[in-house]
Amino acid sequence: MANTILVGAQWGDEGKGKIIDVLTEDADIVVRYAGGNNAGHTVFIGKQKYVLHLVPSGILRPNKLCVIGNGVVADPLSLVEEIQGLRKLGVKVGANLVVSETAHVVFPYHRELDAQREVLKGRQKIGTTKRGIGPAYGDKAARVGLRISDLVEPARLEEKLSARIKENNAVLKSLGAKPLSFKKVLAEYRAAGKYLKPFVANTVVLLHDAMRRRADILFEGAQGTFLDLDHGTYPFVTSSNTTAGGACTGTGVPPHRMDRVVGVMKAYTTRVGEGPLPTENPEIADMLHAMGREFGATTGRARRCGWFDSVATRHAAMVNGIDDLAITNLDGLDTLETIKVCVAYRRGKTRYDFVPSDAQVLAGCEPVYVEFEGWRTPTNDCKTFKQLPSETRAYLKAIAELTNAKLFIASVGPARAQTIFV
Ligand code: GDP
Ligand code: IMO
Ligand code: MG
């Protein structure tokens, strides 16, 4: 399969978990390279639903090595809980999971600050997952973060944490929030550090050793292109580089060793949290929510929904260098008479064929639509591209062409078998 980076081409929740699970069959190693437990990647195996937050989705297949890379911020309490939850469901988690010693640690003061900053912002809030992601990456950039290598050394943890709690408690108090108990946090994090120690290694060396043995690596993106700290709708973004470049910095695998980029996108658009979403449409949202779909895998929030936005996905193809497209949730459009696709934006007299980088400008953009005929028939049982209705094939071809990448997978349901290779 060669080294493949898989990224979300929209605003997250594109179905990356499902596609990772499918592609893992041909990979040796799956690596998460960015984000934290703000991610929620859903995989169905038979009737069993798994939601992965920090552990790579490849864990559900036997004999695959899963790596949490240096670019990730890991909440150790949440990671321990996730490992225990997977084991309870019969998933083997042991030597098949390795955590980078240089990944940064999320502490309770990060979560508390995340929540407090949202309150302070009031109507301008980002709508974060409140998992402490922004403050944890902030500490990393400010060079005051603790890494996994600090977490697993009790004496070092105590010394560094003591200083961090002092500073952060002063900030929390000034915001009117309750200070944290150093003793309690230390005890909890020591226990988590002890539990996680056997999983910890130098993952940069591990990945390079594996590449020398010609292992095929799948890089599991989290979030989506428009949540990228640099390329997304700032400030309504997450705090990491979710785009393809993040796979290099977040793992230590250099750019020239990457062979292919797969972009995952829904056949329509969703977003959870605040910020511009040009094609947002309440009728589609109502239709999808009535089907029980489009509720967040991490926070349970109802996702905002809209028509497919090819201006956005074309931009994503450009920024990530997407070679192949996996289009998911095609079946979500099965009942529609007509389907709209956004092909440009208009703001006053200006027409945009790309995504303006200023979120305020984007928020003022109106979509320019073209219409497609719906297929008005269930697609869930289609096994091949040929079995899909002709209108569905026309729609898929059109959105792939507008995105400027090759159609590779069409997904017509959450199950492994509901995957059509084109
Ligand atoms: P991720 O964060 O990109 O992994 O996506 P999420 O798991 O948060 O959300 C995607 C949702 O769509 C999950 O509930 C998946 O089970 C579901 N899903 C993925 N592909 C398909 C599909 O082709 N059809 C349907 N009906 N559901 C899908
Ligand atoms: P997966 O990997 C969808 C969104 C939040 C918020 C913004 C910032 O499942 O696609 P944060 O907690 O990261 O500071 O929140 O980013 N967000 C996601 N939206 N899918 C995700 O992950 C997300 N992770 C963060 O809703 O708007
Ligand atoms: Mg998700």
Identify any residues that bridge with 164 across adjacent strands, giving them in sequence order. Answer: none
Q: Around Cβ 380, how many Cβ atoms within 10 Å?
A: 12
Q: What is the DSSP secondary-structure string of 150-179?
A: HHTSHHHHHHHHHHHHHHHHHHHHHTTPPP
Indicate whether residue 42 lines ligand 1 (CB < 6 A). yes
Which whole number is the average pLDDT over 356-360?
Answer: 96
Q: CA separation (Å) from 238 to 36, 37, 38, 282, 413?
A: 10, 12, 9, 24, 28
Q: Give the integer Cα–Cα distance in Å for 365 and 388.
A: 34
User: Ligand 2: distance of its center to the CA of 382 in Å?
Assistant: 32
The reply to whether 289 belongs to the active site is: no
Is the beta carbon of 220 within 6 A of some atom in ligand 1?
no
State the sign of the Cα–Cα–Cα–Cα dihedral 395, 385, 285, 404. Answer: negative
How far CA 326 is from CA of 8, 316, 419, in Å, comes to 10, 13, 9
Question: Kind of pairing, strands 406-411 and 350-352?
Answer: unpaired
What are residue 230's DSSP bridge partners?
none
Query: Is residue 208's pLDDT more than 80?
Result: yes
Distance CA 18, CA 52 (A): 11
Residue type at position 277: L
**Active-site entry in 41, 104, 110, 231:** 41
Q: Which ligand is nearest to the CA of 266?
A: 1
**pLDDT tens digit sequence for 28-83:** 999 999 999 999 999 999 999 999 999 999 999 999 999 999 999 999 999 999 99
At how many degrees (to 10) do helices 182-196 and 154-174 cross? Answer: 140
Pull the structure tokens for residue 166: 């002092």
Is the pLDDT assigned to residue 298 strictly greater than 90?
A: no
Share of the chain above pLDDT 90, in %: 98
Torsion sign (Cα): 298, 302, 304, 306: positive
Write out the two tokens for 7: 């990224």
Instruction: Tell me the percentage of the chain whose pLDDT exceeds 70.
Output: 100
Residue 219 has pLDDT above 80, yes or no: yes
The mean per-residue pLDDT over the stretch 284-310 comes to: 94
How many Å apart are CA 331 and CA 327, to the nearest integer? 11
Residue 278: helix, strand or coil by DSSP? coil
227 lines ligand 2 (CB under 6 A): yes
208 is catalytic: no
Kindly give the number of the ligand 1 atom that is closest to the alpha carbon of 49.
16
- So what's the pLDDT on residue 297? 83
Between CA 300 and CA 311 the distance in angstroms is 28
Helix (H) or strand (E) holding 234: none
Q: What is the CA radius of gyration of the chain?
A: 21
Which of 11, 128, 295 most suits a substitution to test ligand 2, by most atoms within 8 Å of the C-beta?
128
Pairing of strands 419-421, 406-411: antiparallel
Q: What is the mean pLDDT of the chain?
A: 97
Asked whether residue 1 carries a pLDDT value surpassing 80, the answer given is no
Cβ–ligand 1 distance for 297 under 6 Å, the answer yes
Pocket test for ligand 2, best of 117, 238, 242, 280 (most atoms within 8 A of CB): 238
Q: Is the pLDDT of residue 322 over 80?
A: yes
pLDDT for 83 equals 98
Tell me if 16 CB under 6 Å of ligand 1: yes
Ligand 2 centroid–CA 239 distance in Å is 9
Q: Ligand 1, closest atom to CA 224?
A: 3
Which of 13, 150, 228, 331 does the annotation list as catalytic? Answer: 13
Q: Which two tokens stand for residue 38?
A: 């703000």
pLDDT for residue 206 is more than 80: yes
Mean pLDDT, to the nearest integer, of 78-89?
98
Instruction: State residue 8's pLDDT score.
Output: 98
Q: Kindly state if the Cβ of 134 falls inside 6 Å of ligand 2.
A: yes
Strands 104-105 and 73-74: parallel
* Integer Cα distance of 174 and 178 in angstroms: 10
Place of tokens 């893992």: 24
Residues of the chain by 3-state class (helix, strand, coil), percent to 5: 40, 20, 40
Q: How far is the CA of 104 from the centre of ligand 2 (A)?
A: 18
